[in-house]
Amino acid sequence: MKPIIIAIVGDSGSGKTYMAEFLRNQLNVPTIVSYTTRPKRPGETDGVGHYFINASQLPDKQDMLAYTSFGGYEYFALHEQVPCKGICCYVIDESGLEMLYYNHCERYDIVSVLIICPQDVLILRGIDSNRLKRDKGRKHLGEKFFDCIIRNDVSKEEFEYKILCEFNRL
């Protein structure tokens, strides 16, 4: 059986990291942590949300599972980070997801998950409106592209329940 990658896409603050952490903590589904050339922000720890590297440390494109460039910085993960069997989770943007599908769907089973959440709820969660405007420019895939859509305008408990329901259908 091919490794299964649950690829999670959604706006800033929609709950991508929350879902990945929930799957890791509750169901032992490992998360693929991306590498980035973006500088570490205050409060960030290397290896938690990202591994921070210099532009000179970029690996060969053929070793990359997915790659995207955004805001002048590069983001990628490596094939060697995917466990050789079982399921893992990967938080990704739409262009990275496309690359993953078109280049590697023979090598991996990819389950794409779109988390949607209305803007007013995101703003109530404290997400900066400029970030939300910026997200709009990064979206080009229609909802039909995704294997699964989870609406996260509910409580955390309900969101977790929805995640479990979708996971059980895998």
The yes or no reply on residue 95 touching ligand ATP (CB under 6 A) is no
Q: How far is the CB of 5 from ligand ATP (least distance, A)?
A: 17
Among 6, 7, 10, 96, binds ligand ATP (CB under 6 A): 10
How many residues in the shown chain lie near ligand ATP by CB under 6 A? Answer: 14
Minimum CB distance to ligand ATP, residue 70 (Å): 11
Residue 150 parent element (H or E): strand 148-151
Least distance (Å) between residue 129 CB and ligand ATP: 13
Sign for the pseudo-dihedral over CA of 85, 86, 91, 97: positive
Please, are residues 37 and 130 in contact by the beta-carbon 8 Å criterion? no
Binders of ligand ATP among 108-167, rule CB under 6 A?
125, 152, 154-156, 159
Tokens of 153: 């305008």
Minimum separation from the CB atom of position 55 to ligand ATP (A) = 22
Displacement of CA 141 from its chain's centroid (Å)? 15
SS3 28: coil
* Integer Cα distance of 37 and 44 in angstroms: 14
| Count of all residues that appear for the chain in the document | 170
Residues 14-43 that bind ligand ATP (CB under 6 A): 14-18
Contacting residues toward ligand ATP, per CB under 6 A: 10, 12-18, 125, 152, 154-156, 159
